[in-house]
Amino acid sequence: MIDSPLPSVSAWVRALADAEIPILPHALAELEQLREIEDTHGTVDAKTLADAMGANPLMVLKVLTHVSRYCTRLGVEPPETLTGAIVMMGIAPFFNTFLNAPTFIEWFKSDPEAASGLLKVITRARRAANFSLNFAIRRQDEDAGILYEAALLHDFAEMLLWCHAPKLAKEIARLKESDPTLRSAAAQKVVLGTTLNALAHGLMREWQLPDMLIKCTDERRASDPQVRNVMLAVRLARHSRNGWDAPNAQPALKDDIAGVAKLLTLSEEAATRLVMGLDA
C-alpha cells in the first residue's frame, strides 16, 4: 500500500503500472459459471464474455491492459473494445488468465471504508457509461461502444487509488466533504502532488491503450464531439451523484444540461427530460 504522496507523476505511474487490480465478486462468479458452460457445451464466445463483464470497470481495465501489453510485444495495434480484446486472447486463455484474479471482498476485508469509496466510484462510472452510450446512439455515432467504455474507464485512476493508496483517497474525500466548493483537481494536487487525470494519462500511455480511449479522456480536445460526449456523461454522473436536486450541484448541472442540449441539438427542457429518464 502507498501511504504517502510520491514525488512525481512518473513515480506514481511506476508504482501503479504493474499493480494488481481486484474484481467484483459477482464478476468472478459469472466467469466461473461461463467456464462451466464452455467446458460442457463449448458455446461461450467473446461477445458473451464481454456482455457479462462489460459493466465492471475494473475487469474491463484488467483485460484491456493485459491485451495492450501483448499487442505491444507483437508490434500491433491493440483492439479498441473489450470484445475485440477477448477475441485476440481466445476463450480458453481468457479464462485461464482471469479466473484467479483477487476479488473485492478479499482485497478490502480489513478496510470497509475504502471498499465503500471504491464502490461509489464504480457506481458513478456505470452511470457515466450509460449516459455516454445513449448520447452516442442518439448521435448515430458508430463508435458508441467505445464511447461507453471510455466513460466507464474515465475515472480508473481514482479506482486504483482506492485499491492501492486508500489512506490518500480518504484524505481527498475528506477535503471535498469539508469544502464542497473545492475542485476535485485541487484536492488531488494537495494530497497527491498531482492530479488523477495526469496519472490516468501517464498510465494509459505506459500501457499503450487504444488511441481512442486516450483521446476521449483528453479535455484539451473538448471541441471533438466524441470527447464532449464522454466528458458530459462523466460530469453529469459526478455532479448528480447526490441526486438531481442537490443544492451545491445546481450551477454545474445547469451547465451540463446546456452542454447536452447543444451536443444533441435539443432544447434544454428536452435535454433535462432525457438525462433524468436515462437515470430512472
pLDDT score at 91: 96
Which domains, from first to last, does the chain contain? Answer: 23-101 (no CATH), 112-278 (1.10.3210.10)
Would you say how long the chain is, in residues? Answer: 280
3 state SS of 197: helix
Sign of CA dihedral 153, 73, 9, 222: negative
pLDDT digits (tens, 9 = 90+) for 173-224: 999 999 988 889 999 999 999 999 999 999 999 999 998 899 988 888 888 9
Q: Which amino acid is at 142?
A: E
**Residue burial 134-173, b: 16+ Cβ < 10 Å; e: rest:** bbbebbebebbbbbbbbbbbbbbbbbbbbbbbbebbbbbb
pLDDT over 80 at 280, yes or no: no
- Rounded to whole angstroms, the Cα distance separating 215 from 202 reads 13
- Asked if 200 and 217 count as a contact pair (C-beta separation under 8 A), the reply is yes
pLDDT digits (tens, 9 = 90+) for 37-81: 999 999 999 999 999 999 999 999 999 999 999 898 888 999 999
- Asked if 258 and 268 count as a contact pair (C-beta separation under 8 A), the reply is yes
| Average confidence (pLDDT) over 74-93 | 93
pLDDT score at 50: 96
Q: What's this model's pTM, rounded to 2 decimal places?
A: 0.95
Residues in a beta bridge with 188: none
Among 30, 62, 25, smallest CA distance to 160 is for 62
